[in-house]
């Protein structure tokens, strides 16, 4: 689902059934990143203090994973924390979905 305020992605299985949802935890981080990023010299350092966090929830509303962007100059480091153990097939689906989401968010700005 596309929104200018808060990112949200649906993760589908091989039968096109929704299994998980990836949501951005705090939309203000993206807002301030866009605002501060336009300031000439200070905008280069937003990767050190404006870092988004994403949560992977199941269709039951239970949190399974949390993805955090780590402070860095170019925004290339992420930390993935597992909240609950799930089977390997679902874990692979979530990890690949998170990789795709990171690429889409990078292109989005």
Are the beta carbons of 68 and 47 closer than 8 angstroms? no
Looking at residue 1, what is its pLDDT?
46
pTM: 0.83
* Intervals of the chain under pLDDT 50: 1-2
Looking at residue 4, what is its pLDDT?
61
Q: Tell me how far apart the alpha carbons of residues 16 and 19 are, in angstroms, rounded to a whole number.
A: 9
Q: Tell me how far apart the alpha carbons of residues 65 and 91 are, in angstroms, rounded to a whole number.
A: 9
Q: How far apart are the first and last CA of the chain?
A: 16
Looking at residue 75, what is its pLDDT?
64
Looking at residue 22, what is its pLDDT?
95
């Amino acid at each position: 689902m596309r929104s200018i305020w808060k990112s949200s992605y649906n993760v589908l299985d091989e039968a096109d059934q929704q299994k998980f949802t990836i949501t951005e935890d705090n939309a203000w981080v993206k807002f301030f990143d866009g605002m501060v990023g336009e300031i000439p010299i200070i905008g280069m350092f937003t990767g050190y203090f404006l870092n988004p966090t994403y949560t992977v929830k199941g269709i039951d509303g239970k949190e399974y994973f949390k993805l955090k962007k780590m402070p860095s100059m170019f925004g290339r480091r992420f930390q993935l924390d597992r909240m609950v153990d799930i089977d390997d097939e679902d874990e692979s689906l979530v990890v690949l979905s998170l990789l795709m989401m990171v690429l889409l968010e990078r292109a989005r700005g």
